[in-house]
Amino acid sequence: MTQKVEKSLSKLIGLIIKKLESGIDVNDSKELRDALSLLETLISVELRKKYNEWAYESLDGIYVGQITMTGKNQISIIGMCVLISDQSYIPIYVHTRISDSSDEIDWMDCKLAEYGGNGIIKIPRNSNQWNKQMYALDVNKINWHYSISYGKEI
């Protein structure tokens, strides 16, 4: 399943990159919505491999605050995601590069959840705070709790 998800995701990211290069707004594109759905699956699978507490957890939505090209065939996504268990929001950062043929992911780094003094900082489902915070996230100032890598960075 992971290979099929990876192949579909890399093709969608390739389409998103082409739109970004052309100056087209991708924030409400079908390609981005479909890519985010596949990212939910891939990230959840990879988190389960690394963290025991993810055995019964998964992502139930990723919302983009910022998407940018960071190099050839590379994008970064900064935003918020939803935990399926309690529908709370946590920050997410994804940085990935696809192959030149756009049929595989060369590498992907992902960080989730800010760690505070009392554990993971979660924004409740019924709060609008997540939407405001999503656009102000500074990935370099967050004390990330979860971190995964997929593929091999060159």
Q: What is the CA radius of gyration of the chain?
A: 15
Contact of 122 with 86, CB cutoff 8 Å: yes
pLDDT in tens, 81-101: 999 999 999 999 999 999 988
The pair of three-digit structure tokens given for residue 113, joined into one six-digit string = 């959840």
> Quick one: tokens of 99?
């192959």
Cα gap 87→69, rounded to integer Å: 29
Q: 50 vs 40, 43, 145, CA distance in Å?
A: 16, 11, 12
pTM score: 0.92
Provide the pLDDT for residue 154. Answer: 47
> Which tens digit of pLDDT belongs to each residue from 102-135?
689 999 999 999 999 899 999 998 888 887 787 7
Over residues 44-66, the mean pLDDT reads 95
pLDDT, greater one: 151 or 36: 36
